[in-house]
Copies of this chain bind each other. A is one copy, B any other.
Amino acid sequence: MTASNSEYRHIPEATVSRLPVYLRSLLDLSEQDVTTVSSENLAAETGVNAAKVRKDLSYLGTYGTRGVGYGVGELVDQIRDCLGLNRNWRVGIAGIGNLGRALVNYKGFSERKLTICALYDSDPEKVGRPIKVGDDVLTIQDVESIRGDVGALDLDIGIITTPSSVAQDVADRYVAGGIQGILNFAPTVLRVPEDVMLRKVDLSIELQILGFYVGRRDALDRAVEAAD
């Protein structure tokens, strides 16, 4: 079966961004054998307010049962269906340094049907080396292979974990091969044609958000001390 998420066309961007967050909490609950969850609980787990949780989930056509809440397994299926995660996404990773290797070993990927199908690097020392990916072993290929591989290996999404200086070159190779989406971890701006979906991950963003709240508490503590 190839899952389709065509029926979910009109979901707001902000809701789409929160669905993986709900999914993460729901998978955690499911691991703890929790079978139902209220919007309040899901709100507490995810840091989103309960009204927003209910509104977001209503886009999936799901309203829960009063006094019981939502079925955890059912909700996992619906979010997976909506995000297209019932389909296997075929992913390539270019840049097999520490971050590339961290992604290869990341438990959260295989859990969500994201299959790593190819690894690329431009370093002759790395090209040809075998890397364990789950139960398989992949050989690192030269970035030259990206263009041909996108079609040959049916890659949907290209991940970039290279240094910033070569990220655009790698992006161009993915694009030349006809990739549909690119996920960029390099801290630089990439230009791709409009018909290629591009998203960027900045590993320092959550740390900055945390800094805001810690700093605010510091300031509050000082204010309280001053008032004492």
The quantity of this chain's copies bound in the complex is 2
Contact indicator B6/A210 (Cβ below 8 Å): no
Contact indicator A211/B28 (Cβ below 8 Å): no
Known A99-B98, A109-B204, A207-B183; contact A214-B156, beta-carbon cutoff 8 A: yes
Picked from B5, B45, B206, B214, the residue with its CB within 8 Å of the CB of A216 is: B5
Picked from B14, B109, B199, B208, the residue with its CB within 8 Å of the CB of A112 is: B208
Contact indicator B102/A187 (Cβ below 8 Å): no
Q: Does A219 contact B (CB under 8 A)?
A: yes
User: Could you tell me the distance in whole angstroms from the C-beta of A104 to the nearest C-beta in chain B?
Assistant: 8
Contact with B along A200-228 (1 / 0, CB 8 A): 11111111111111111111101100000
In angstroms, Cα B226 to Cα A191, docked, is 31
Q: Does A197 contact B (CB under 8 A)?
A: yes
User: Could you tell me the distance in whole angstroms from the C-beta of A224 to the nearest C-beta in chain B?
Assistant: 11
Contact indicator A189/B4 (Cβ below 8 Å): no
Picked from B13, B45, B215, the residue with its CB within 8 Å of the CB of A84 is: B215
In angstroms, Cα B212 to Cα A183, docked, is 13
Q: Does A106 contact B (CB under 8 A)?
A: yes
User: Could you tell me the distance in whole angstroms from the C-beta of A217 to the nearest C-beta in chain B?
Assistant: 7
- Which residue on B lies nearest to A101, using beta carbons? B98
Picked from B109, B207, B214, the residue with its CB within 8 Å of the CB of A207 is: B109
Contact indicator B199/A28 (Cβ below 8 Å): no
In angstroms, Cα B175 to Cα A121, docked, is 40
- B-chain residues with CB within 8 Å of residue A147 when the two chains form the complex: none
- B-chain residues with CB within 8 Å of residue A13 when the two chains form the complex: 47
Contact segment of A16-24, A63-71, A134-142: A16-24
Contact indicator A206/B201 (Cβ below 8 Å): yes
Contact indicator B106/A212 (Cβ below 8 Å): no
